[in-house]
Amino acid sequence: MHTIKLTIEYDGTNYHGWQIQPGFTTIQGIFQESLSKILGKATKIYGAGRTDAGVHARGQVAHFYLQKYFPLEILHRAINATIPNDLVVRKIEEVPSSFHAQYSAKGKEYRYYILNQSVRSAFYKKHALFIPFVLDCDQMKEALSHLVGTHDFFALSVAPEKMNTIRTITRADLFKEDNFRVISLEGTGFLHKMVRRIVGTVIDVGRHKIPCTMIPEILQSRNKGLGGLSAAPYGLYLISVKY
């Protein structure tokens, strides 16, 4: 048995997220169809984590099992030839049998792209959140600094009450890239819609709707109504998974 690791890039615009869902076109579903066709048998693929409908990835990781060896260069070309052109396998490699895309992961990096200019873009409407208002980047950076460390992120997620919502963020930055404001978050794990709730809250700080000093209070309150709304999915990118 061979364990094969894929590093995948995708534009999530046309998909109902990563995970297979009956009646919807998903990225996991597309890859399983491709592999099953190439290998001549039903093949399941395991992802490092779910991404929501419309969310993109530059470094999603997945793995699957091969019973018989298949030349990886040929397999790489075959997969890319049988999937839509808004999906691509960037790298394929054999890894130890103990590897699991989800359970072996040590952390992830996400970036959220905000197009901050006076006029909308025809090209980035499904790839960045357009905000024509002035954003106070210094206050946004201060807000992000309060998120670093181990906290209860129940208030900034859609996790259910009984779930363990303690998570660790190891880095939280904001930087400029041309007319984009990019929020970058690294952590050991993220709750469902946690990144998008954080981004929505930090944007509210940047627009002076809430003070940056309120972030610790929001976390401690466990009140989902205090933070900002979830930012739109199309500005979010899974950059990499750490092992």
Per-residue pLDDT of the chain (243 residues), as tens digits, is 999 999 999 999 999 999 999 999 999 999 999 999 999 999 999 999 999 999 999 999 999 999 988 999 999 999 999 999 999 999 999 999 999 999 999 999 999 999 999 999 999 999 999 999 999 999 999 999 999 999 999 999 999 988 999 999 999 999 999 999 999 999 999 999 999 999 999 999 999 999 999 999 999 999 999 999 999 999 999 999 999
Asked which of 75, 95, 115 is the last residue of a domain, the reply is: 95
For residues 86 and 18, membership in a common domain is answered with yes
For residues 31 and 147, membership in a common domain is answered with no
Kindly name the residue from 11, 52, 136, 173 that is annotated as catalytic.
52
User: Which contacts (CB < 8 Å, 24+ apart) does range 187-190 have?
Assistant: 187/107, 187/108, 188/106, 188/107, 189/107, 189/108, 190/49, 190/108, 190/110
52 as an active site residue: the answer is yes
pLDDT of amino acid 207 = 97
For residues 174 and 200, membership in a common domain is answered with yes
| Bridge-based pairing state of the strands 236-242 and 56-66 | parallel
The domain of 30 spans: 2-95
Asked which of 42, 64, 95 is the last residue of a domain, the reply is: 95
Task: State the Cα–Cα distance between residues 181 and 194, nearest whole angstrom.
Answer: 19
Total domain count, the chain: 2
| Bridge-based pairing state of the strands 56-66 and 46-47 | antiparallel
pLDDT of amino acid 135 = 97
Task: State the Cα–Cα distance between residues 5 and 177, nearest whole angstrom.
Answer: 31
